[in-house]
C-alpha cells in the first residue's frame, strides 16, 4: 500500500474515534429533552354515529277512556258477562237489566192499541151510516125545494128538510173527526210501544267501542242509573301512552313522530314508543311541558306505571370528540389541537351531544389530535409529549 493511502486511512480512523463520543452525547441530550416534556393525553377526532336524546319521566295512562252507563234508568242488573281485563269488541253485551216491568208495560200498551183499533172500526161504521143519512137528507131537501117551487109544499116543509140535511152533514163531520182522533190515539200508543221496544233493546248494556275493560262497578241486583259511577270503563283499543314531563329548555327539540325508548320501573328491557302529542303550554310553576308518547306494544306495560323515556330528537354520523376534550363557554367552544407536539387553541362549532361524546360541526378535520381533557394546564405554543388516550365506547 502506498504511503499516502496509509496516511489517509489512519487519519479517517482517528477522526471517527474522536466524533463518536460527541454524537452519542447529542443523542442522549435529545432523548433527555423529550423525556422532560409534560406527557399529555390526546385523542383523535373521528367520524361516528351520534344520537341526541331528551330525557323525560312520567306516568303511563290510557290514550282514551270510555265510560259505559245505562241508557235505561231504574232497572236492576240481572247478568254481568264481562270483567276487568277482558278484551271486548264494539257491540258486545257486557251486562243485562231486568225486563219484566217493561214487558208488562208493553203488554198493556198493546191491549190499549187493540182497543183503540176496535173503536176505530166502530167509528168507521158510524161514519158510513152518517154519510148515507147525509146523502138521503140532501136528496129529500132537493126534492122538497123543487116541490116548493111548484107550490106543492109549504115553506115550512122546505125549512124542515133543510134542517135535516144540515143535521146529517154535522153528524157525518163529527164521525169523521172522531176517526181522526182515534187514528191519533193509535199513533200515540204505537209510539209508546216503539219506545218500550227501544228501552227493552237498551237493557242489553253493550260496549260502545272495542278495547280492554279497566274498571267495573256493575253489581248484580244493583239499580242501574246514569248518575252513579260508570258500570264499566273501557280503554279504547287498549291503547296506552306515557304522559311525560319535559323541561322547557328541551321541549322545542321534540316533534310529533319522533321515536322514544321507554324504561319501566323494575324492567331492564326498554320498550318502544312514538311521540303522539306535545302540549302547547308550559306549566308556569314547574316549568315543565307534557309530552304524550304512545306505546307501540300496549301489552308490554300497564296504565298507572311510572316510566322514563329517552326521546330521540336528532341523529347524524359526523366528526366527534369526547365531551371532556371540548371547552364550552357561553360564547364559544374551543379545543387544544396538538400539531407536531405543539399546542394550539382552535375554535370549533358543536352539535349533537350523545352521552359523553359531542359532534364537531366545523373547526377540525378527521384525524386531528386534541388534548383529551380540556382542563389540562397547557397553553397555546406549549410543547408536550402526546400520549394517546383510550377512545370512549
Domains in the chain: boundaries: 39-50+316-388, 55-62+238-315, 65-98+210-234, 100-201
Dihedral angle, C-alpha 54, 58, 60, 63, nearest 10 °: -70
What are 186-220's pLDDT values in tens digits? 899 999 999 999 999 999 999 999 999 999 999 99
Residues 261, 264, 310: CA angle, nearest 5 degrees? 25
CB of 336 within 8 A of CB of 379?
no
* The model's pTM: 0.68
Cα gap 96→343, rounded to integer Å: 84
**Per-residue pLDDT for 54 more than 80?**
yes
Strand order in the sheet with 232-236: 65-68, 232-236, 211-216, 87-88
CATH number of 65-98+210-234: 2.40.50
CB of 223 within 8 A of CB of 107?
no
Average pLDDT over residues 48-72: 94
CATH number of 55-62+238-315: 2.40.30.170
Q: What class is the 39-50+316-388 domain?
A: mainly beta
Cα gap 388→369, rounded to integer Å: 9
What are 324-378's pLDDT values in tens digits? 899 888 778 999 999 989 999 999 999 888 888 999 999 999 999 999 987 667 8
**Per-residue pLDDT for 122 more than 60?**
yes
Least confident of 57-61, 155-159, 218-222, 251-255: 155-159
Long-range CB contact pairs, 323-329, < 8 A, 24+: 323/353, 323/356, 323/357, 323/358, 324/356, 324/372, 324/373, 324/374, 324/375, 325/43, 325/370, 325/371, 325/372, 325/373, 325/374, 326/350, 326/358, 326/360, 326/374, 327/374, 327/375
Dihedral angle, C-alpha 138, 140, 146, 147, nearest 10 °: -160
State the pLDDT confidence band at 33, using cuts at 50, 70 and 90: low
307's enclosing H/E stretch is strand 306-322
Amino acid at each position: 500500500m502506498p504511503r499516502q493511502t496509509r496516511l489517509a486511512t489512519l487519519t479517517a480512523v482517528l477522526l471517527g474515534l474522536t466524533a463518536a463520543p460527541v454524537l452519542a452525547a447529542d443523542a442522549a441530550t435529545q432523548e433527555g429533552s423529550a423525556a422532560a416534556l409534560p406527557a399529555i393525553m390526546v385523542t383523535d377526532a373521528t367520524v361516528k354515529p351520534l344520537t341526541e336524546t331528551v330525557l323525560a319521566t312520567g306516568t303511563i295512562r290510557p290514550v282514551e277512556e270510555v265510560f259505559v252507563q245505562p241508557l235505561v234508568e231504574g232497572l236492576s242488573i240481572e247478568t254481568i258477562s264481562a270483567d276487568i281485563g277482558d278484551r271486548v269488541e264494539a257491540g258486545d253485551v257486557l251486562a243485562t237489566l231486568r225486563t219484566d216491568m217493561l214487558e208488562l208495560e208493553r203488554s198493556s200498551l198493546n191491549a190499549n192499541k187493540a182497543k183503540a183499533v176496535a173503536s176505530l172500526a166502530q167509528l168507521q161504521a158510524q161514519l158510513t151510516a152518517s154519510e148515507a143519512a147525509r146523502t138521503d137528507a140532501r136528496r129529500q131537501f132537493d126534492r122538497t125545494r123543487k116541490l116548493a117551487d111548484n107550490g106543492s109544499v109549504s115553506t115550512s116543509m122546505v125549512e124542515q128538510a133543510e134542517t135535516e140535511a144540515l143535521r146529517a152533514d154535522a153528524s157525518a163531520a163529527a164521525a169523521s173527526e172522531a176517526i181522526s182522533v182515534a187514528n191519533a190515539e193509535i199513533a200515540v200508543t204505537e209510539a209508546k210501544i216503539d219506545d218500550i221496544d227501544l228501552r227493552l233493546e237498551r237493557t242489553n248494556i253493550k260496549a260502545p267501542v272495542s278495547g280492554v275493560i279497566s274498571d267495573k262497578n256493575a253489581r248484580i241486583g244493583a239499580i242501574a242509573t246514569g248518575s252513579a259511577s260508570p258500570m264499566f270503563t273501557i280503554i279504547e283499543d287498549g291503547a296506552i301512552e306515557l304522559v311525560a314531563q319535559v323541561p322547557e329548555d328541551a321541549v322545542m327539540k321534540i316533534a310529533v313522530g319522533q321515536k322514544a325508548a321507554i324504561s319501566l320501573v323494575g324492567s331492564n328491557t326498554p320498550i318502544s314508543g312514538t311521540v303522539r302529542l306535545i302540549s302547547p303550554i308550559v306549566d308556569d310553576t314547574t316549568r315543565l311541558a307534557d309530552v304524550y308518547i304512545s306505546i307501540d306494544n300496549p301489552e308490554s306495560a300497564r296504565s298507572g306505571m311510572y316510566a322514563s323515556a329517552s326521546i330521540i330528537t336528532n341523529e347524524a354520523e359526523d366528526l366527534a370528540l369526547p365531551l371532556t376534550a371540548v371547552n364550552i363557554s357561553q360564547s364559544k367552544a374551543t379545543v387544544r389541537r396538538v400539531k407536531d407536539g405543539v399546542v394550539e387553541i382552535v375554535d370549533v362549532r358543536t352539535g349533537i351531544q350523545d352521552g359523553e361524546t359531542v359532534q364537531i360541526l366545523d373547526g377540525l378535520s378527521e384525524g386531528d389530535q386534541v388534548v383529551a381533557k380540556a382542563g389540562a394546564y397547557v397553553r397555546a405554543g406549549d410543547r408536550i409529549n402526546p400520549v394517546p388516550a383510550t377512545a370512549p365506547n
